Amino acid sequence: MKLHAVLPALVLLGTATFFGCKKVPLTPSHPIPAGEVVFRFTSKVQGPVELTVDGARIPVQQLPKGAISLVVKGLAPGKHRFFLTSQRETFSPDLGELDLSGDQGLYLVTLTQHLDAVLYGKPDPLPPAEGLRGVTAVLTK
């Protein structure tokens, strides 16, 4: 077996794997305060992002150049159902149940994939989100 042809291919494969894969932290760098949920995306999200918590649409502050996480503040302890959607991205998990304790928040790694859902023309604008009292959602870098 001749290694002179295999060795450059292995070096190229290793280099492509090393530079092509980004690492997303599986744990937060600092503790998440109580009543807060951080959705950490695996790739940059361009938005607009829509968030529904317990059946009410929450207004999300968008960033013009994209974001890597969505921070939701002001949730009461207990169980909350959420639904996360966008016209340009798909999320996994995109819906589920959040179980907030009274002493700390949640950190969720969310798989993100870019997808243009509207093929022709511009999408219809959505009505303004009604929100929940005291709950805010912000896309952050």
The pair of three-digit structure tokens given for residue 136, joined into one six-digit string:
């805010």
The pLDDT score that the predictor gives to residue 133 is 86
The pLDDT score that the predictor gives to residue 79 is 94
Is 9 inside any structural domain? no
The pLDDT score that the predictor gives to residue 127 is 75
Q: Which domain holds residue 56?
A: 28-140
Chain mean pLDDT for the chain: 82
Is 22 inside any structural domain? no
Predicted TM-score (pTM) of the model is 0.77
Q: Does residue 18 surpass a pLDDT of 80?
A: no
Is 15 inside any structural domain? no
pLDDT tens-digit profile of 105-131?
999 999 999 886 556 667 677 777 787
Is 4 inside any structural domain? no
Is 13 inside any structural domain? no
Q: Does residue 86 surpass a pLDDT of 90?
A: no
Q: How confident is the model at residue 7 (pLDDT cuts 50, 70, 90)?
A: low
DSSP-derived 3-state class of residue 2: coil
Q: How confident is the model at residue 6 (pLDDT cuts 50, 70, 90)?
A: low
Query: What is the CATH number for 48?
Result: 2.60.40
Strands 78-86 and 95-100 come out as antiparallel
How many domains does the chain divide into?
1
Dist CA 35 CA 110 (whole Å): 19
Average pLDDT rounded to a whole number, residues 46-52: 88
